[in-house]
Amino acid sequence: MKQITAITIATIGTAALLAGGGGIALAAGQTAASAASATAAATTAAAPAAAADISSRKAVQIARKRVPGGRVTEIEREWEHGHSVWKVELRKGGWEYDVYVSAKSGRIIKFKRDYDG
Protein backbone atom coordinates (compact mmCIF):
# COMPACT_ATOMS: atom_id res chain seq x y z
CA MET A 1 0.00 0.00 0.00
CA LYS A 2 2.85 2.40 0.86
CA GLN A 3 4.50 1.68 -2.49
CA ILE A 4 1.30 2.48 -4.41
CA THR A 5 0.89 5.70 -2.42
CA ALA A 6 4.52 6.69 -3.09
CA ILE A 7 4.13 5.99 -6.81
CA THR A 8 0.88 7.95 -6.90
CA ILE A 9 2.49 10.93 -5.14
CA ALA A 10 5.50 10.80 -7.47
CA THR A 11 3.21 10.64 -10.52
CA ILE A 12 1.10 13.56 -9.30
CA GLY A 13 4.26 15.51 -8.50
CA THR A 14 5.71 14.91 -11.94
CA ALA A 15 2.44 15.91 -13.60
CA ALA A 16 2.31 19.07 -11.50
CA LEU A 17 5.89 19.95 -12.44
CA LEU A 18 5.19 19.43 -16.12
CA ALA A 19 2.12 21.64 -15.81
CA GLY A 20 4.21 24.34 -14.14
CA GLY A 21 2.96 23.85 -10.60
CA GLY A 22 6.22 23.27 -8.70
CA GLY A 23 4.61 24.36 -5.42
CA ILE A 24 1.96 21.67 -5.70
CA ALA A 25 4.66 19.03 -6.12
CA LEU A 26 6.36 20.18 -2.93
CA ALA A 27 3.08 20.05 -1.05
CA ALA A 28 2.58 16.47 -2.24
CA GLY A 29 5.57 15.33 -0.23
CA GLN A 30 8.60 15.81 -2.48
CA THR A 31 11.69 17.49 -1.12
CA ALA A 32 13.09 20.60 -2.78
CA ALA A 33 16.06 18.65 -4.14
CA SER A 34 13.95 15.93 -5.75
CA ALA A 35 11.52 18.51 -7.15
CA ALA A 36 14.42 20.45 -8.66
CA SER A 37 15.94 17.33 -10.22
CA ALA A 38 12.53 16.28 -11.58
CA THR A 39 12.04 19.77 -13.03
CA ALA A 40 15.47 19.64 -14.68
CA ALA A 41 14.79 16.18 -16.11
CA ALA A 42 11.36 17.19 -17.41
CA THR A 43 12.74 20.37 -18.98
CA THR A 44 15.58 18.48 -20.64
CA ALA A 45 13.25 15.81 -22.00
CA ALA A 46 10.52 18.19 -23.17
CA ALA A 47 12.68 20.95 -24.69
CA PRO A 48 13.87 19.15 -27.84
CA ALA A 49 10.38 17.90 -28.73
CA ALA A 50 8.73 21.27 -28.19
CA ALA A 51 11.43 23.14 -30.11
CA ALA A 52 11.10 20.84 -33.14
CA ASP A 53 7.33 21.11 -33.66
CA ILE A 54 5.95 23.92 -35.78
CA SER A 55 2.85 25.82 -34.72
CA SER A 56 -0.53 25.71 -36.43
CA ARG A 57 0.02 29.33 -37.44
CA LYS A 58 3.23 28.41 -39.28
CA ALA A 59 1.46 25.46 -40.95
CA VAL A 60 -1.22 27.84 -42.23
CA GLN A 61 1.47 30.16 -43.65
CA ILE A 62 3.05 27.21 -45.48
CA ALA A 63 -0.33 26.04 -46.84
CA ARG A 64 -1.23 29.55 -48.04
CA LYS A 65 2.02 29.69 -50.00
CA ARG A 66 0.92 26.49 -51.77
CA VAL A 67 -2.64 27.80 -52.38
CA PRO A 68 -2.36 31.60 -52.71
CA GLY A 69 -5.66 33.35 -52.05
CA GLY A 70 -7.19 30.28 -50.42
CA ARG A 71 -9.51 30.73 -47.42
CA VAL A 72 -8.63 28.48 -44.47
CA THR A 73 -11.69 26.55 -43.32
CA GLU A 74 -10.18 23.98 -40.95
CA ILE A 75 -6.92 23.09 -39.18
CA GLU A 76 -6.32 19.89 -37.27
CA ARG A 77 -3.41 17.83 -35.98
CA GLU A 78 -3.35 14.28 -37.38
CA TRP A 79 -1.16 11.24 -37.89
CA GLU A 80 -0.42 10.52 -41.54
CA HIS A 81 1.65 7.42 -42.35
CA GLY A 82 3.30 7.49 -38.94
CA HIS A 83 4.10 11.22 -38.99
CA SER A 84 2.57 14.02 -36.95
CA VAL A 85 1.09 16.53 -39.40
CA TRP A 86 -1.08 19.61 -39.55
CA LYS A 87 -3.97 19.17 -41.99
CA VAL A 88 -4.90 22.59 -43.33
CA GLU A 89 -8.10 22.72 -45.38
CA LEU A 90 -8.54 25.65 -47.76
CA ARG A 91 -11.21 26.68 -50.29
CA LYS A 92 -10.69 28.72 -53.43
CA GLY A 93 -12.80 29.10 -56.58
CA GLY A 94 -15.02 26.06 -56.01
CA TRP A 95 -12.06 23.85 -55.11
CA GLU A 96 -11.21 22.32 -51.75
CA TYR A 97 -7.52 21.82 -50.94
CA ASP A 98 -6.09 19.65 -48.18
CA VAL A 99 -2.48 20.49 -47.40
CA TYR A 100 -0.68 18.14 -44.99
CA VAL A 101 2.29 19.91 -43.37
CA SER A 102 4.84 17.96 -41.32
CA ALA A 103 4.69 19.11 -37.69
CA LYS A 104 8.42 18.40 -37.35
CA SER A 105 9.97 19.84 -40.52
CA GLY A 106 7.30 22.13 -41.98
CA ARG A 107 7.47 20.36 -45.33
CA ILE A 108 4.31 19.59 -47.30
CA ILE A 109 4.04 15.81 -47.26
CA LYS A 110 0.66 15.43 -48.99
CA PHE A 111 -1.55 17.64 -51.13
CA LYS A 112 -5.12 16.91 -52.28
CA ARG A 113 -7.46 18.96 -54.44
CA ASP A 114 -11.17 18.20 -54.92
CA TYR A 115 -13.77 20.12 -56.91
CA ASP A 116 -16.50 21.24 -54.54
CA GLY A 117 -18.63 23.35 -56.88
Mean pLDDT within 100-115: 96
**2 pLDDT more than 70:** no
Say which residue, 105 or 44, is predicted with more confidence. 105
pTM: predicted TM-score of the whole model, two decimal places: 0.56
The average confidence (pLDDT) of the chain is 73
Domain boundaries, the chain: 56-115
Please, which residues have CB within 8 angstroms of residue 95's CB and are 6 or more apart in sequence?
Answer: 113, 114, 115, 116, 117
HSE-CB at 81 with a 13 A cutoff on CA atoms is 5
CATH 3.10.450.40 fits 56-115, yes or no: yes
